Structure 1
Amino acid sequence: MGRGVYTSEPLDEDIIIEVAPVVVMSAEDRIHLDKTLLHDYIFEWGDKGEVIMALGYAPVYNHSYTSNCEYEMDYEASTISIRTVRPIAAGEELFINYNGSWDDDKPLWFDAK
């Protein structure tokens, strides 16, 4: 899976772990980003084809279709928040679902056959 984020202490459900600022890039920029390693670390932003590079740890959370965290975009503040969706034990890896919703099981590009 590559990089990842882990908790060193137990976390309750519905705890905001991180609020990270983002750099918003245009749909035209995305064409170029998709040709680089940054493609694996950007998030879709809104409905105009824009993408973001989140600062902080947000880009290195690994994916799970049954993630223990979810992310939420704040378009006005230009931030992304990571929040727990269930209690998490100390030492456990923190996962987000790259589909956007923590329990969305639609196959992603790297699982699609």
Structure 2
Amino acid sequence: MLLPCLTIAPSGDRGRGVFTTEPLASGTIIEISPVLVLDPEERAHAEKTMLFDYIFEWGDDYKSACVALGYLSMYNHSYSANCLYEMDYESETIRITTVKDVAAGEELFINYNADPDETKPIWFEAK
């Protein structure tokens, strides 16, 4: 499920990002993305490729990973994100929900730490 008002567009020095063409209220589910689950061995191979920055840790032990379909891997990071992602291991999906009202034309952000307000440095900033 992907809301039709979502679009991929340039995002300054971030490359591309996900934007909305319509206003969105807080609490709106904007995407439910199916995922392809990688076991720990497959994850190790994927981490040696350009997929490293686009896969998500997966499973209760975080040893596996997943490749999200839909727009999910295109959301940029923000420590004050306007969206939240939630993993459903049983259905092998990730859901994106707005946590703030979002204006038309605004970029949609997730916090790569999984908590919209978590400020722990993420992997590409901690280098």
- TM-score bracket for this pair, using the shorter chain length: over 0.9
The gaps in structure 1 that reach 5 residues or longer are none
Aligned counterparts of 1:69 and 1:97: Cα–Cα separation in 2 = 8
- For 1:54-98, what per-residue CA distance to the aligned partner results, in whole angstroms no more than 9, with x for missing partners? 100001000001100010001111100000001000000000000
Match of 2:23 among 1, 5, 10: 10
Contact 1:27–1:48 (CA under 8 A) maintained in structure 2: no
Percent same amino acid at aligned positions?
60
Alpha-carbon shift at residue 111 of structure 1 (Å): 1.2
Q: Please state how far the C-alpha of 1:48 moved relative to its aligned partner.
A: 4.6
TM, length-normalised to structure 2: 0.86
Cα-Cα RMSD? 0.9
Q: Quick one: which amino acid aligns to residue 82 of structure 1?
A: I
Structure number with higher relative contact order (C-alpha < 8 Å, ≥ 6 residues apart): 1
Structure 1-normalised TM-score?
0.96
Q: Secondary structure at the match of 2:42?
A: helix
Give the length in aligned residue pairs: 113
Do structure 1's residue 21 and structure 2's residue 34 form an aligned pair? yes
1:31 aligned residue (40, 44, 56) = 44
1: distance between equivalents of 2:25 and 2:78? 19
Mapped contact 1:69–1:84 kept (Cα < 8 A): yes
Q: Give the counterpart letter for 2:119 in structure 1.
A: D
Runs of 5+ consecutive residues of structure 2 not aligned to the other structure: 1-13
Determine the structure 2 residue equivalent to 1:112. 126
The 1-side partners of 2:34 and 2:21 are apart by 23
Is it true that 1:41 corresponds to 2:59 in the alignment? no
Structure 1 stretches of 4+ moved >2 Å: none
